[in-house]
Amino acid sequence: MSHEHIIRPLSSDVINQIAAGEVVERPASIVKELIENSLDAGAKRIFIELDGGGIDRIQVRDNGCGIPPLQLQLALSRHCTSKLVSAADLQTIQSLGFRGEALASIGAVTELSITSRTADDTHGWRVDSRSDSSDLRPVPQPHPVGTTIEVRALFANTPARRRFLKQPRTELLHIQQFLRRAGFCYPNVEIVLVHDARPSLKLPPVDDSAATQRRWRTLFGSEFVESCVPIEVQLDGVAIGGWVGKPSYSRQNSDLQYIAINRRVVRDRHIAHAIRMAYESAIADGRHAAYALRIDLPSQDVDVNVHPGKAEVRFSDPRTIHDLVYACVKHALLGGAETQGSVSSYPDPFDKQASQAVINAPLLGYQHASRSLGRHSHHSIPPRASADELLVIVENRFAITNRDAQLLVIDLHRAIEVVVRKRLSRGESAARPLIIPEAYKMRLRDADITNLGQYGFEVTRLGSDSIALRAIPVVVGEIDAREFGVAVIENVADGVDVPNLLARAASQAFRSPRALVECRRWYAALAQLLQEFEHYLEDYGVALSAAQLNDLFERP
């Protein structure tokens, strides 16, 4: 066997440099790892100093809990961390850092020193790590409680990678961008950045209303703060808060889009798609929405260990999170006011049976319809209806379309009633929780509550003569929830056919989408669902030819 094909273990230096290729991409990568360690250590004040955009020097100083002297050497070793004990901890990660590779990887491509002191020590201890030295013995050093980490000469021993770095100004912008995101996730932590001995960014802690205003204006700019709509929603175990910019505040790029999952800024295609759907018809092509959203949920329902740089996460039930975010953003944009829906009796969003629910999604479940059609399309006839043929929906009832040189006027109430009744009759009984429950000064018998509940219409008592509607059938959407509830509650009685009752109420409470593009999408979904049940929109319409229209307007 030739020498170059012999299998051998890699040296520690090579292993660390390979790991550094994943962890350390640019100065902002180092700042990210160090800031996350400071936050995990409970720091309330973090001071960052940079030289040359972080290429020449990075120093991060915090007032966290510090590192005991006997553990400083371990802190610079691979896969050593205080944030995990057993494999079970990987399922419920609470900290930002947990891989135990960051400091070892940074030390492999830089000159790194750590000075730290705990509350139990009378002075600090310092340890220096260099790629050409194996001496990691800590030495005494004056230092307040907390930790200071200094990084010098990034990629000095790997010049090929250093050449890929941008100009200091560009690297500084990347660092500032990360610090703004960290400042959004941790509003009670003071963050100060100094670049080349000049103040660059200061985020005061949020301890009063004036400081809150200053911080948000520093993070997002005054124009966004004055043009955004707040969101604050809590549904058993899931909390969504933050701000979404009004459609009039759309931007040329996506630089002001923050998504924080359990205080970790990430990229997530499901959430980004939900927000795009909520804005879709309100923002012109080529423009981007501005938003800053934080989502907190049980750690066992989100996996943060799916990306080397912890920039992505994986949800146990991404569909439910997608639909909840869509509902919250859509409601905020349409209502223009803060959304509050903290009700302890909501169903668990991560319950598998409820995961089908499309919270405030388009009528009749547009996405659900496409999934259903996929199972039955083998015997379907291609639908004649297309989204582009819809001209307008009048009085939330009549769809006027242009097809084959004819105007077709369709009674949507009858079409909706057929679809809802047939879907309920075939067992689609999942419930969709309302973000804001509807309260009624009305009475309802226990038997009726139980009977309606079998079809996803969930009501609870508030008193002897008042009730609250907390969920509606998932097959019902694009409605006035209050009117829908009244139509059901006033007409429920012994022996009533509940699917028929719910279908009639859904048609009466229908409210067409505001924008034409959404109306057309809804119209196409309705046509597909009707086709699934071997019905067509033409069955509920009246066609007017050009000649007939001409006769209507012919002068005598």
pLDDT digits (tens, 9 = 90+) for 349-385: 223 233 333 333 333 332 332 233 233 333 333 345 6
Separation between Cα atoms, residue 421 and residue 419, nearest integer Å = 6
Q: Minimal CA–CA distance to 398: which of 414, 387, 409?
A: 409
Sign of the C-alpha dihedral computed for residues 526, 532, 538 and 539 taken in this order? negative
Q: What are phi and psi of 428, to 5 degrees?
A: -85, 85
Instruction: Report residues of the chain scoring pLDDT below 50.
Output: 1, 84-85, 89-90, 131-132, 336-383
* Secondary structure (H, E, C), 540-554: HEEEECHHHHHHHHC
Residue type, 136: L
Identify the pLDDT of residue 284: 81
Identify the pLDDT of residue 192: 95
Identify the pLDDT of residue 59: 96
Separation between Cα atoms, residue 346 and residue 339, nearest integer Å = 16
Return the structure tokens found at 155: 């990629």
DSSP secondary structure letters along 456-513: T-EEEEEETTEEEEEEEETT--SB-HHHHHHHHHTT--TT--HHHHHHHHHHHTB---
Residue type, 113: S
CB within 8 Å of 238: residues ≥ 6 apart: 295, 296, 297, 321, 324, 349
Separation between Cα atoms, residue 171 and residue 174, nearest integer Å = 5
Rama region for 297: left / alpha / beta (φ>0; ψ in -120 to 50; rest) = beta
Return the structure tokens found at 453: 């509940």
165: three-class secondary structure by DSSP: coil
Q: What are phi and psi of 352, to 5 degrees?
A: -60, -35
Separation between Cα atoms, residue 436 and residue 353, nearest integer Å = 21
Sign of the C-alpha dihedral computed for residues 197, 198, 199 and 200 taken in this order? negative
pLDDT digits (tens, 9 = 90+) for 27-83: 988 999 899 889 988 999 999 999 999 989 999 999 999 999 888 888 777 656 665
DSSP secondary structure letters along 212-240: HHHHHHHHH-HHHHHTEEEEEEEETTEEE
Q: Is 105 exposed, middle or buried (0-12, 13-18, 19+ CB in 10 A)?
A: buried
Distance from the Cα of residue 327 to its chain's centroid: 11
**Is residue 492 within 8 Å of 501, Cβ to Cβ?**
yes
Identify the pLDDT of residue 383: 42
Q: Which residue matches tokens 């057993």?
A: 86
Q: Minimal CA–CA distance to 333: which of 250, 220, 452, 237?
A: 250
Identify the pLDDT of residue 44: 94
DSSP 253: S
**Is residue 449 within 8 Å of 469, Cβ to Cβ?**
no
Separation between Cα atoms, residue 501 and residue 246, nearest integer Å = 38
Residue type, 449: I
Domains of the chain and any CATH numbers: 12-204 (3.30.565.10), 221-356 (3.30.230.10), 366-544 (no CATH)
Return the structure tokens found at 342: 């903290």
Secondary-structure percent of the chain, ordered helix, strand, coil, rounded to 5: 40, 25, 35
Sign of the C-alpha dihedral computed for residues 339, 345, 346 and 351 taken in this order? positive
Separation between Cα atoms, residue 272 and residue 231, nearest integer Å = 16
Identify the pLDDT of residue 24: 77
126: three-class secondary structure by DSSP: strand
Residue 111, beta-bridge partner list = 152
Separation between Cα atoms, residue 482 and residue 433, nearest integer Å = 13
448: three-class secondary structure by DSSP: helix
CA distances, 470 to each of 247, 341, 439 (Å): 30, 10, 9
